[in-house]
Amino acid sequence: MLLLWVLVMAASALAVLAPGAGGQRRGAAHAWPDAPNVVLVVSDSFDGRLTFYPGSQVVKLPFIDFMKAHGTSFLNAYTNSPICCPSRAANVIIHILQMKTEVQKAMWSGLFTHLTESWNNFKGLDPNYTTWMDVMEKHGYRTQKFGKLDYTSGHHSVSNRVEAWTRDVAFLLRQEGRPMVNLFPKKTKVRVMEKDWRNTDRAVNWLRKEAINYTQPFVLYLGLNLPHPYPSPSSGENFGASTFRTSLYWLKKVSYDAIKIPKWLPLSEMHPIDYYSSYTKNCTGKFTEKEIKNIRAFYYAMCAETDAMLGEIILALRQLDLLQKTIVIYTSDHGELAMEHRQFYKMSMYEASAHVPLLIMGPGIQANLQVSNVVSLVDIYPTMLDIAGIPLPQNLSGYSLLPLSSETLKDEDKFKNLRPPWILSEFHGCNVNASTYMLRTNQWKYVAYSDGASELPQLFDLSSDPDELTNIATKFPEITFSLDQKLRSIINYPKVSASVHQYNKEQFIKWKQSVGQNYSNVIANLRWHQDWLKEPRKYESAIDQWLKTHTNPKNSEQK
Ligand SMILES: *[C@@H]1O[C@H](CO)[C@@H](O)[C@H](O)[C@H]1NC(C)=O
Ligand SMILES: *[C@@H]1O[C@H](CO)[C@@H](O)[C@H](O)[C@H]1NC(C)=O
Ligand SMILES: *[C@@H]1O[C@H](CO)[C@@H](O)[C@H](O)[C@H]1NC(C)=O
Ligand SMILES: *[C@@H]1O[C@H](CO)[C@@H](O)[C@H](O)[C@H]1NC(C)=O
Ligand SMILES: *[C@@H]1O[C@H](CO)[C@@H](O)[C@H](O)[C@H]1NC(C)=O
Ligand SMILES: *[C@@H]1O[C@H](CO)[C@@H](O)[C@H](O)[C@H]1NC(C)=O
């Protein structure tokens, strides 16, 4: 039934996207009245590799397939920060800029994480920061956003913060519930992630009731929590979010036979930073193959549910005759490891975590085009402005995607050499005990840590080692050296790492003071409580030791 729908839609959309419809009016000082509408759908934790072969074999994603057929898909799109740690405010609809993640800040500000100094997520962008949406509004666009963050409690978020601040402390504690699956056995259960569906409905209603009557173009943003795993209350009061939940309805979209069981390095051969991540995520124990396969299957089923929400938006645009006037963009803030590299969640530069989907379709966008250039989420900002015909500010971290995807711009030489052949991703949050920097080029993935000296870097050749199991950094020292030089020319990463160390310690001290007398009690009862309560004295004194080591702001800034 659904497939039939898609086929019908595909045929009619082909007709509307035929040459002559739409097209870019570049250089227009004002977008209005003839700029296209824009709809941006951003999910949470969607592994980008599912949008192309061979990942696309494992689960049916009809609307992503639709976007691929009628638009341009980016085969090498990356997050600029694979962050976890949901931000503070619980149970309220919060302004999008305080929402969720560093990468959202990068996406909305158009700047790399180190430029907005949003280290570990507790520092939002100023609400008055100029986002692309503000700029578009100023140029005559009507704007609307839907998306809600409410799966975390304030307490949970204290845990995340304290875990991030104390990542330099010499202890190792399990912070997460073991990943598990949970099935709604009803074959007819379609709306599993109800809150996302409600937001999708609100977006559709807005299109039907409001947007349809606008004489100006509009931009609509829909933020989804799926396919992010759900909280696991069964693992105690201060739970993590490690339950992959779906229904039989969605599980049927997954081909079990196509699910790959990821290879793992033995614990003793893991990179020390990876070991810290696996350990704090409670994944260093034994997992059966069946357990891993199930976690992956459930995750893919959650991706299918996400695709259906994207589908609701596309169908509504089609029904309202807006598809031929609207550019639709789908992406995700980061991926999900789903037990690759002995981990779940993200916070890692491995493909499953850092590679995101990125698809664009609409008037003037090439159909059925696959672009292999490396691109990243900071490109969203300039792309939005470019779509609206608004001149780009000079100092953005990203580049418009239109020269790679537009029918009219694609072959224009003047755009060819603008975009650099690399992207940068960085991470400074919890579950990783050193600031991490990834430089991704066409062939290589280079990952450097901390000050560049205290931990070995990683180098992967993604063409010969797509599973990233063989670190060849020491085997190819010249390549490692030149990539490291390149990385340092983009970001003074030892200095950024030092600032983060400093920030973490200061924040921790402030928090400790604010808790006062109750400190021992509170810290023992965060998400790591199962481990902490075995030897509370030992862990407290490890923190005291860490606080005593020299902290000289001037020294660390100058490093
Ligand atoms: C945003 O507002 C804060 C105070 O509310 C102010 O300190 C800051 O400079 C403002 N930022 C911008 C970019 O206007
Ligand atoms: C870690 O996993 C084990 C089972 O392997 C479980 O008993 C324990 O509760 C988990 N720890 C946390 C903090 O959830
Ligand atoms: C939108 O236009 C339709 C008719 O085209 C009208 O029935 C409806 O009331 C309008 N809605 C709003 C919110 O103005
Ligand atoms: C990170 O944690 C691992 C595991 O405890 C440890 O071996 C490594 O030295 C730590 N690295 C840093 C930079 O703290
Ligand atoms: C970028 O440029 C604009 C003006 O062109 C300025 O207001 C803004 O502060 C700059 N941002 C950064 C991070 O340099
Ligand atoms: C102290 O912390 C514990 C554990 O978080 C909490 O249950 C208790 O209410 C706190 N007491 C005070 C006085 O804040």
- Other C-beta atoms closer than 10 Å to the C-beta of 476 total 14
Nearest Cα to 77, choosing from 346, 351, 327?
351
Distance 217 CA to ligand 3 centre (A): 16
Q: Kindly give the number of the ligand 2 atom that is closest to the alpha carbon of 242.
A: 14
CA 550 to mean position of chain CA atoms: 35
Asked if residue 81 lies in contact with residue 102, where contact means CB atoms within 8 angstroms, the answer is yes
Nearest Cα to 334, choosing from 275, 379, 377?
377
Nearest Cα to 383, choosing from 16, 43, 38?
38
**pLDDT for 476 beyond 50:** yes
**pLDDT for 552 beyond 80:** no
Lowest mean pLDDT among 113-117, 239-243, 331-335, 500-504: 113-117
* Token pair belonging to 340: 């690759």
Active-site residue 303, yes or no? no
Distance 58 CA to ligand 4 centre (A): 35
Does 136 map to a domain?
A: no
211-259: pLDDT as tens digits? 999 999 999 999 999 999 998 876 554 567 789 999 999 999 999 999 9
Confidence of residue 412 (pLDDT cuts 50, 70, 90): low
Q: What is the largest CA-CA distance in the chain?
A: 72
The bound ligand whose nearest atom lies closest to the alpha carbon of 110 is: 5
278 lines ligand 2 (CB under 6 A): no
Confidence of residue 176 (pLDDT cuts 50, 70, 90): confident
Does 385 map to a domain?
A: no
Angle at 312 between CA 323 and CA 141, to 5 degrees: 50
In this predicted structure, what is the pLDDT of residue 83?
72
Distance 266 CA to ligand 2 centre (A): 20
295-330: pLDDT as tens digits? 999 999 999 999 999 999 999 999 999 999 999 999
The bound ligand whose nearest atom lies closest to the alpha carbon of 207 is: 3
The bound ligand whose nearest atom lies closest to the alpha carbon of 210 is: 3
Distances (CA, A) of 489 to 67, 102, 289, 399, 434: 37, 22, 43, 18, 20
Confidence of residue 428 (pLDDT cuts 50, 70, 90): confident
Residues within 6 Å of ligand 5 by CB? 111, 115, 393, 395
Helix (H, G, I), strand (E, B) or coil at 132: helix
Q: Kindly give the number of the ligand 1 atom that is closest to the alpha carbon of 130.
A: 13
Q: Kindly give the number of the ligand 1 atom that is closest to the alpha carbon of 128.
A: 1
Does 52 map to a domain?
A: no
Does 134 map to a domain?
A: no
Q: Whose CA is nearest to atom 4 of ligand 3?
A: 213
Asked if residue 373 lies in contact with residue 358, where contact means CB atoms within 8 angstroms, the answer is no
Catalytic residue among 84, 85, 303, 430: 84
174 lines ligand 2 (CB under 6 A): yes
In this predicted structure, what is the pLDDT of residue 555?
42
- Does the pTM exceed 0.85? yes
Q: Kindly give the number of the ligand 4 atom that is closest to the alpha carbon of 167.
A: 14
Does 528 map to a domain?
A: no
In this predicted structure, what is the pLDDT of residue 554?
42
- Residue 177 phi/psi, 5-degree rounding, is -70, 150
Whole-angstrom Cα Rg for the chain: 23
> Does residue 322 or residue 25 have the better pLDDT?
322
- In angstroms, rounded to a whole number, what is the distance separating the alpha carbons of residues 272 and 277? 9
**pLDDT for 383 beyond 60:** yes
In this predicted structure, what is the pLDDT of residue 533?
93
* Token pair belonging to 29: 């000082």
How does strand 218-223 pair with strand 142-146? Answer: parallel
Does 412 map to a domain?
A: no
Q: How many domains does the chain have?
A: 1
494-519: pLDDT as tens digits? 999 998 888 889 989 999 999 999 99
Distance 211 CA to ligand 3 centre (A): 10
- In angstroms, rounded to a whole number, what is the distance separating the alpha carbons of residues 305 and 192? 8
Cis amide leading into 391 (omega within 30): no
127 lines ligand 1 (CB under 6 A): no
Distance 130 CA to ligand 1 centre (A): 10
129 lines ligand 1 (CB under 6 A): yes
Confidence of residue 160 (pLDDT cuts 50, 70, 90): confident
Distance 141 CA to ligand 2 centre (A): 50
DSSP count for the chain of H helices, then E strands: 20, 14
CATH number of the domain encompassing residue 450? 3.30.1120.10
Q: Which domain holds residue 487?
A: 427-493
- In angstroms, rounded to a whole number, what is the distance separating the alpha carbons of residues 150 and 99? 10
Distance 549 CA to ligand 4 centre (A): 17
Residue by residue, what is the 3-state secondary structure of 219-271?
A: EEEEECCCCCCECCHHHCCCCCCCEEEEEHHHHCCECHHHCCCCCCCCHHHCC
Average pLDDT along the chain = 84
In this predicted structure, what is the pLDDT of residue 105?
65
The bound ligand whose nearest atom lies closest to the alpha carbon of 524 is: 6
DSSP characters over 11-69? HHHHHHTSTTSS---TT-S--TTTSPEEEEEEESS--GGGGSTTGGGSB--HHHHHHHH
- Quickly tell me which residue has 């599993």 as its tokens: 192
Lowest mean pLDDT among 34-38, 40-44, 130-134, 192-196: 130-134
272 lines ligand 4 (CB under 6 A): yes
Pocket test for ligand 2, best of 175, 178, 232, 238 (most atoms within 8 A of CB): 178
432 lines ligand 4 (CB under 6 A): no
* Token pair belonging to 558: 């100058």
Contacts of 179 (CB under 8 A, 6+ apart): 229, 242, 243, 244, 281, 282, 283, 295, 339, 344
* Token pair belonging to 352: 């499953």
79-92: pLDDT as tens digits? 988 874 333 222 12
Does 443 map to a domain?
A: yes
Confidence of residue 11 (pLDDT cuts 50, 70, 90): very low
Confidence of residue 19 (pLDDT cuts 50, 70, 90): very low
Does 161 map to a domain?
A: no
Confidence of residue 104 (pLDDT cuts 50, 70, 90): low
